[in-house]
A and B are shown apart, each in its own frame.
Chain A
Amino acid sequence: MPDAMAQPLLDVRGLKKYFTVGRRGTLKAVNGVSFSIRSGETFGLVGESGCGKTTAGRVIVRLYEPTEGAVYYRGKDISRLARREAAEYTHNVQMIFQDPYASLDPRMTVEAIIAEGMRPRGMYSRGESRDKARELLSRVGLSPEHAQRFPHEFSGGQRQRVGVARALAVNPELIVCDEPVSALDVSIQAQIINLLRKLQRELGLTYLFIAHDLSLVKYVSDRVGVMYMGSLVEVASAEDLYRSPLHPYTRALLSAIPVPNPIEERGRRRVLLEGDVPPPLNTPDQCLFLGRCPHATDRCQQGMPQLAQAREGHWVACAMNEELNVDAYTI
Chain B
Amino acid sequence: MPKLLELEDLRVSFHTYAGEAQALRGVNLTLDAGDTLAIVGESGCGKTVTAQSVMRLYPKGAADYKGGSIRYKGEDLLTLSERQMRRIRGREISMVFQDPMTSLNPTVPVGKQIMEGVLKNGSRESKRVTRRDARLRALELLEGVGIADPETRMGQYPHNLSGGMRQRVMIAIAMSCSPDLLIADEPTTALDVTVQAQILELMKSLQSRGNTSIIVITHNMGVVANIARKVAVMYGGVVVERGTVEDIFFRPRHPYAWGLLRSVFRLNKPKDEPLTPIDGTPPELIDPLPGCPFAERCAYTMRVCASGMPPEFAWGEARACRCWLYGPGCPVIPAEWEEYSHA
Which positions in A face B, CB cutoff 8 Å? 48-49, 155-158, 185-191, 193-194, 212-216, 218-220, 238-239, 242, 252-265, 270, 272-273, 275-278, 331
Contacts and interface: CB of A to CB of B under 8 A. Distances in A.
Contacts of A242: 267
A242 B270 CA distance: 11
Contact of B221 (A48, A186, A220): A186
B9 to A, nearest CB: 26
Which 3 pairs show the lowest CB-CB distances between chains A and B? Answer: A258-B222, A190-B277, A185-B42
A276 B163 contact: yes
B29 interface: no
B279 interface: yes
Given A272-B197, A277-B192, A257 B219 contact: no
A188 B224 CA distance: 19
B194 A256 contact: yes
A255 B267 CA distance: 11
Contacts of B113: none
Q: How big is the B interface, by class?
A: 35 or more
5 contacts: A48-B194, A186-B264, A187-B42, A191-B277, A270-B201
Contacts of B55: none
Contact of A259 (B42, B195, B201, B225): B225
Contacts, number: 135
Nearest to A261: B225
A257 B198 contact: no
Given A212-B192, A212-B193, A272-B197, A258 B223 contact: yes
A219 to B, nearest CB: 5
A275 B194 CA distance: 9
A260 B163 contact: no
A155 B297 CA distance: 14
B194 A265 contact: no
Contacts of A219: 265, 269, 271, 275
Contacts of B144: none
A212 B193 CA distance: 8
Contacts of B162: 275-278
A23 B265 CA distance: 43
Interface stretch (B67-75, B88-96, B255-263): B255-263
Interface in B242-269: 245-246, 249, 259-267, 269
A185 B275 CA distance: 15
Given A256-B194, A265-B225, A189 B263 contact: yes
A259 B222 contact: yes
B196 to A, nearest CB: 7
B271 A256 contact: no
A194 B275 contact: yes
B267 A256 contact: no
B34 interface: no
B201 A272 contact: yes
B222 A260 contact: yes
A214 B197 contact: no
Contacts of B274: 194
A278 B265 CA distance: 28
B160 interface: no
Contacts of B194: 48, 252-253, 256, 273, 277
B278 A187 contact: yes
A104 B196 CA distance: 31
B339 to A, nearest CB: 16
A188 B277 CA distance: 7
Contacts of B226: 258, 262, 265
A264 B245 CA distance: 12
B278 A260 contact: no
Given A272-B197, A275-B162, A276-B163, A259 B281 contact: no
Given A214-B193, A275-B162, A276-B192, A259 B267 contact: yes
B18 to A, nearest CB: 11
